Chain A
Amino acid sequence: MSKTNLTIDEVKHVAKLAKLGLTDQEAEKFKDQLSEILGFVDELKSLDTKGVEPTSQVTGLLNVFREDVVTPSLSQEEALSNAPDKHNGYFKVKAVRE
């Protein structure tokens, strides 16, 4: 099995993209595990797929529409019922800008 060696900086970059606040210890552990997994999936690179169309929807459905009518949905209260923090019917968050 080939091995793709990720660097600590790459792991930290991916964690940042995924909004995961990893500790240095976690980053070190994931570096090795993800490198091994990438080595495994790299097997795909040996397969020639020139001219093969990608499949992302496996049953071939296209453009599924429904009638434009109002149907029951969650109330504002229900939609906010699990919010960790709320204010006057809104989700409340910490400062977006300092």
Chain B
Amino acid sequence: MLLDLTIKELVEGIKSQKFSAIDVTSEAFENIEKHDGKVKAFLTLTKEAALKKAQEVDGRIKRGEKVGKLAGIPFSAKDVFSTKGIRTTASSKILDNYIPPYSATVIDKLEKEDAILIGKTNNDPFGFGSSTENSDYQITHNPWNLSKVAGGSSGGSAAAVAMRMGAFSLAEDTGGSIRQPSSFCGVTGLKVTYGRVSRYGVLAYGSSLDTIGPIAKNVEDTAFVLEIIAGADLHDATTLREGVPDYISSNNKDLKGIKIGIPKEYFIPGMDKEVEELVRSTGNVFTDLGAEFEEVSLPFTKYAIPAYYLSGMSEVSANLARYDGIRFGFSCKDVQNIDETYLCSRDRGFGDEVKRRIMLGTYALSSGYYDAYYRKAQEVRTLIKKDFEKVFNSVDILITPVSPTPAFGIGENTDDPLKMWLADVFTVTVNPAGVPALAIPCGFTSSGLPVGMQIVGPQLSEEKLFNAAYHYQSKTDWHKRRPECS
């Protein structure tokens, strides 16, 4: 299958006319037709436009004209990225009919390099969830075992990459939404340093926590995409001005003498034994590569989760005020005054999880509670950030599990919102600190479900993460396995 190749190999093959952009893009749609009835990763397909663009790229190559760095590479995007003229729902009925009049900066950047958008993927509405079960449209099934969740919130993106329905997917991570589904689906996903990639045109969740990153088959592809989407953007004042390094060749340093920290707070009682064993066993591979290990501690970890939820939900309460039934999105018609427009449109347009999060945030920001909740959470955030700064004085990177369990069963956690929130216990902690974290596959459970490890580094250390993960993937083949999906 062409889509088993790396992005670099695909681009070289297309440019040298060994195969065409049409071949690669058609293969992505064949895989969608074959598998997506069961997996349900996509909400919207853009087949006609995609094939037309592929043909156009092939034409330019035949005529010897210039093409972009991602010439003819089919990709999907989580349905939180604004795509001009293409329905964008955030998997919420309140945006059921929304057609953005402009595209997110990252979509523009990818399309400028001749990548080909094949469709928009399912997620928990606005990113609110850990399994895509909160989507107002469909539940995405795990391609490794269809009775399990694909993870969330970017479950559609991770499942799409696992099934080769596209070469990579663009996703968003506020508390684990790229890493946890990547782990559940056996693919590679990167949560970047806050501000490394523009958020312009991405439907907001928690603006001080949201990050944009790729989900791909392997580290090399992840680095390839990051190099294109990273960098300052005039439309997003929080983007970092630091130059974008050559991520693609950041895998050339050996790991001799690099210090890897194992934070004890990330191996907790009650976590799945197989997950713990598989993540700990990565130590053998890294030791062979010359790395050294050290147990470390991030003492404020247990406060990171409540601090994350309070900060995140407060920002949700503010960000989702824009869905007012007036400017775009669903609007109740049978109402008498403007207040009823708001109340009715938001009540009917939002699902339960969205309402829960808005209400928690509104409560935390309301008069009399602000200091006890919102301000307190921001103070704890300082402590969490310092925890990471301190630990990175003594080690280069950290290795932890992505999630305490492999993919859980569909319906298993839906009756208990708090239990679902705790599925993100190892991933939410890095977002309040703004540091990057990479999820890569590190083995399979005895029942055949993929398990991921998380590599965390200081702010703007994406190269270090890629380097370590690249060496790991050169010694292992977990990332090359593809589900049968039957």
Asked whether A19 is an interface residue with its Cβ less than 8 Å from the other chain, the reply is yes
Contact A54 B99 (CB under 8 A): no
Q: Which residues of A contact B377 (CB under 8 A)?
A: 44
Contact A95 B338 (CB under 8 A): yes
Q: Which residues of B contact A56 (CB under 8 A)?
A: 208, 311, 378, 381
Min CB distance, B361 to chain A, in Å? 8
Contact A43 B372 (CB under 8 A): no
Q: State the main secondary structure of chain A at its contact with B.
A: loop
Complex CA gap A40/B329 in Å reads 34
Number of interchain pairs (Cβ within 8 Å): 170
Q: Which residues of A contact B331 (CB under 8 A)?
A: 84-85
Beyond A43-B303, A56-B208, 4 additional contacts (C-beta under 8 Å) are: A18-B359, A29-B352, A37-B421, A41-B306
A52, closest chain B residue (CB): B379
Complex CA gap A43/B303 in Å reads 7
Contact A14 B363 (CB under 8 A): yes
Q: Mark each residue of chain B from 404 to 425: 1 if its CB lies under 8 Å from any CB of chain A, else 0.
A: 0000000000000110010000
Complex CA gap A18/B375 in Å reads 20
Q: Which residues of B contact A49 (CB under 8 A)?
A: 376, 379-380, 383
Within 8 A of B (CB), among A36-72: 36-38, 40-45, 47, 49, 52-59, 61, 64, 66, 71
Complex CA gap A82/B351 in Å reads 21
Contact B363 A33 (CB under 8 A): no
Pick 7 A–B contacts, CB within 8 A, sort by A: A19-B339, A42-B306, A43-B302, A58-B381, A71-B234, A95-B336, A95-B337
Q: Which residues of B contact A47 (CB under 8 A)?
A: 303, 380, 383
Q: Which residues of A contact B360 (CB under 8 A)?
A: 34, 37-38
Complex CA gap A84/B302 in Å reads 45
Q: Which of B238, B302, B317, B421 sits near A18, CB closer than 8 Å? A: B317
Which of B151-159, B281-289, B320-328 is the contact stretch?
Answer: B320-328
Task: Check A22/B434 contact, CB under 8 A, given A34-B360, A41-B310, A58-B381.
Answer: no
B317, closest chain A residue (CB): A18
Contact B359 A30 (CB under 8 A): yes
Q: Which of B195, B344, B366, B433 sits near A21, CB closer than 8 Å? A: B344
Contact B338 A59 (CB under 8 A): no
Q: Please provide the 4 A-B residue pairs with the shortest distance between their CB atoms, ordered closest to farther.
A: A21-B343, A54-B378, A58-B434, A82-B328
Q: Which residues of B contact A33 (CB under 8 A)?
A: 356, 417-418
Q: Which residues of B contact A36 (CB under 8 A)?
A: 418
Complex CA gap A58/B383 in Å reads 12
Contact B418 A44 (CB under 8 A): no
B99, closest chain A residue (CB): A82
Task: Check A84/B326 contact, CB under 8 A, given A20-B343, A26-B355, A61-B195.
Answer: yes
Asked whether B346 is an interface residue with its Cβ less than 8 Å from the other chain, the reply is yes
Complex CA gap A40/B91 in Å reads 28
A29, closest chain B residue (CB): B352
